[in-house]
Amino acid sequence: MATYVDDAWTALGDPSRRQILRRLAERPCSVTEIAEELPISRPAVSQHLRVLKEAGLVLVRPQGTRRIYEVDLQGLATLREELDQFWGRALENFKRLVEEETEQP
Amino acid sequence: MATYVDDAWTALGDPSRRQILRRLAERPCSVTEIAEELPISRPAVSQHLRVLKEAGLVLVRPQGTRRIYEVDLQGLATLREELDQFWGRALENFKRLVEEETEQP
DNA sequence: CACTAACGTAAGTTACGCCTTACGGAAACC
DNA sequence: GGTTTCCGTAAGGCGTAACTTACGTTAGTG
């Protein structure tokens, strides 16, 4: 269940994909629309969207000949939770270490 | 100021680096210590730690011949804030779209 | 002062990810 | 039915990131 999200981190490792996702966060739009605002070709955008889709970060909604992509809020929420958990654990261990140091200098 | 964090996302794009960071979140430890638990060589770990350090995700603390690495809570917090902002914006736009649709079907 | 342990870095190889062009298919429009 | 638009995928080139081995350095240890 969490194996899915690990790919989300890998997906966000690419600058172009982060830019695409940022774009989709503003409003859903088509492939061509995205490609026009990026310095890469349309097929390249298609491939990035495929990766983002497999990572559970975007959703597709066919509309005529066009395919409207949008952010998958659920996938994004899962990512946020994972980062939160990680952050919490790091903070815990940090506090614990500080306490141990003050107890035994 | 935010240029820094963008590299953090790239840094977390690598599975080995995520594993290293997870390890450091449990407790700070040395390079050799990390390498022993990973399927890669010690110099490889060194290189990963360098990337994580430049991304502002880890800190180094020399201790004798060893170098103790630990999670940089500040860098991690910045990352969390960025994700939070992004998530908030996506959620806003989603709500807005739903409202627009219900108003004009 | 050797000797060892722990580490960073350089050099080199290799594998993989990103991008391109080219092609084929599905839906609207005439 | 022909044409156009929009899109996904295949094939291939290419840069680079991730790893390895080899070496040099620094700090403890006897």
All structural domains of chain B, each given as residue ranges with its CATH number in brackets, are 3-103 (1.10.10.10)
Determine the Cα–Cα distance for residues A99 and A97; give it in Å rounded to an integer.
5
pLDDT tens-place string over residues A25-41: 999 999 999 999 999 99
Beta bridge partners of residue A61, listed in sequence order: A68
- Chain A hits for B28, CB-CB cut-off 8 Å, are 97
Give the pLDDT of residue A105. 47
Query: E strand or H helix at A50, and its extent?
Result: helix A42-54
Cα(A9)–Cα(B14) distance, rounded to whole angstroms? 8
Residue A30 confidence (pLDDT): 98
B62-CA/D26-C1' distance, Å:
11
Interface probe with A: pick from B3, B10, B81, B92, most Cβ of A within 10 Å: B10
Report d(CA B41, CA B48) in Å as an integer: 11
Helix (H) / strand (E) containing B68 = strand B66-71
The sign one gets for the Cα dihedral B48, A86, B12, B77 is: negative
Mean pLDDT of B9-19: 97
At a CB cut-off of 8 Å and minimum separation 6, what does B45 contact?
B20, B31, B34, B35, B38
B47 touches strand D (CB under 7 A): yes
Whether nucleic acid strand D comes within 7 Å of the CB of A74, the answer is no
- Closest CB to B26: pick one of A24, A70, A93: A93
- CB proximity list for B44: less than 8 A, separation 6 or greater: B16, B35
Tokens representing B54 are 């430049």
How many helices and strands in chain B, by DSSP H and E?
Answer: 5, 2
Low-confidence ranges of chain A (pLDDT < 70): 1-5, 103-105
Tell me the two tokens of residue B66.
């060893």
From chain A, the residues in CB contact with B24 under 8 A are 90
Give pLDDT, residue B103: 67
Question: Between B74 and A102, whose confidence is greater?
Answer: B74
Please state the rounded mean pLDDT for residues B54-61.
97
A53 touches strand D (CB under 7 A): no
CB A48 within 8 A of CB A17: yes
pLDDT of residue A5: 67
B80 CB neighbours in chain A (<8 A) are 83-84, 87
CB contact under 8 A, B83 and A87: no
Q: Do A80 and B77 touch (CB under 8 A)?
A: no
Cβ atoms of B79 and B8 within 8 Å: the answer is: yes
